[in-house]
Amino acid sequence: MREFKSVVEKLAEMSPDDMAAHFHEHDVKGTRGASGMCAAANYIGRETGEPVKVSYKYITNETTGATVIAPPSVSLFAMRFDHGLYPGLVDGDADWINSSPLLLPKMEQ
């Protein structure tokens, strides 16, 4: 298992589209609108062996409580994922966006 901070740093070096390709290559999928089950959280959790939550602003290791500011590329990936720009990374029919009244913030290009 890898260290939480080193996994986040690796993702920070990627663009959102490169991150999506990396997740696809590693068969990582997730649920839109679910900070603890999105593709990025699932990837970090798989790499560290610990549950993680990824929001647009923070990434939190749920075991240790360690929280880091989400790198811009991870934040943008999360927004794009939640807005449906990476449909190949959605885990089956798991989609909290379409089954809840959650309002997403406007995505910046």
Residue pLDDT, tens place only, 6-30: 999 999 999 999 999 999 999 999 9
Q: How many CB atoms lie within 10 A of CB 7?
A: 20
Residues above pLDDT 70, as percent of the chain: 84
**C-alpha radius of gyration, the chain, whole number:** 13
Residue 56 has pLDDT above 80, yes or no: yes
pTM, rounded to two decimals: 0.86
> What is the per-residue pLDDT for 101?
46
Query: Are residues 19 and 74 in contact, defined by beta-carbon separation less than 8 angstroms?
Result: yes
In the predicted model, what is the mean pLDDT of residues 34-45?
Answer: 96
CA-angle at 81, arms to 107 and 86, nearest 5°: 120
Average pLDDT taken over every residue of the chain: 89
Residue 93 has pLDDT above 80, yes or no: no
- Indicate the pLDDT class of residue 92, thresholds 50, 70 and 90: confident
> What is the per-residue pLDDT for 79?
95
**Torsion from C-alpha of 73, 78, 84, 89, nearest 10 degrees:** 90
Q: Is 27 left (phi over 0), alpha (psi -120 to 50) or beta?
A: left
In 3D, which of 24, 56, 57 has the Cα closest to residue 42?
Answer: 24
In the predicted model, what is the mean pLDDT of residues 68-88?
Answer: 95
Q: Which residues pair with 59 in a beta bridge?
A: 54, 68
- Helices marked H in 16-85: 16-25, 39-48, 72-82
